[in-house]
Amino acid sequence: MGSFSSLDTSLRQFRYKGNAFTVMDSDLLSVLYPYNNGFVTDLKIHKNEIYADESWVVYSKDGKTLITCLKKEELINYKVKEGTLAICDYAFWICGNLREIVIPDSVQAIGKEAFWGCNSLSSIKLPCQLEVIQEKTFWGCRSLTYIIMPESLKRIEERAFEFCDHLHFMFVAQNIEFVAPNAFESDKYMPLNIIVPNLTDNYYLKLLNGLEVKIKTIEDFHKEQDLLKQRNKKLIPERWSEIIAFFVCTLVGLGIMFLINLLKGCM
């Protein structure tokens, strides 16, 4: 567990890629974020009300709220503590080296921009009680390739996955009620596949109307994956046979050239 008394000096005017953490006095921790070419204090907490774990991730004293991460560039893999109920706004803001995070099912809420700019994060499974993905929660997570939504999810808010350029698969559940029109805006290199339980009543077609996505059922998705696996199994032997044939032809060619040169030398 981290001691905030030892951080008083290192946190004073400390900045990392646009956001800052400052100890306003000996007892108060303030978290600042950029706003309109300046900084705004989004959070002020008395140090007696919080603690930092071994990764310098800050929690409320009762451990129910994850507040922020102090040493952002050092965080690569992280497991949120069991019993955490909420992850605050901006909690992992620009943790650019964060590749993997495990969120326990005790978490019921994740704040806006919580994973903003986590451009090394490749996949994530959201907790089973989460009902809303807030605005810009995963903005700029450019390495994110797939995400699994819980059955409880009801809303995906504005620009939640904007600039997630490599997001390819998203599994959504039965209870989804609203998806913002610009939730997935991006310079995508490949289309986003929304995997839904079924298409019997056109509910998902209406819900996702106007979004640049491909909608597939879970059944169709599994069929495609099975076909892809079978195709890859066939391709591997074919490629090996091509490689072997190339080497055989090369060796035969070299042998013929050797014989020709040998005969010329004998004449």
pLDDT at 21: 44
* Residue 99 domain-assigned (yes or no): yes
Give the separation between CA 243 and CA 100, rounded to whole angstroms: 38
Structure confidence at residue 120 (pLDDT): 95
Instruction: Flag whether 114 is in a domain.
Output: yes
| Amino acid at site 135 | E
- At residue 234, does pLDDT exceed 70? no
Instruction: Please indicate, yes or no, if residue 247 is contained in any of the structural domains.
Output: no
**Domain presence at residue 131:** yes
pLDDT tens for each residue of 137-179 = 999 999 998 888 888 999 999 999 999 888 888 887 778 888 8
Domain coverage including residue 89: 4-211
pLDDT digits (tens, 9 = 90+) for 193-212: 888 777 766 777 777 766 77
The CATH number covering residue 136 comes to: 3.80.10.10
How many domains in the chain? 1
pTM of the predicted protein model: 0.71
Q: Is residue 250 part of a domain?
A: no
Say if 264 falls within a structural domain. Answer: no
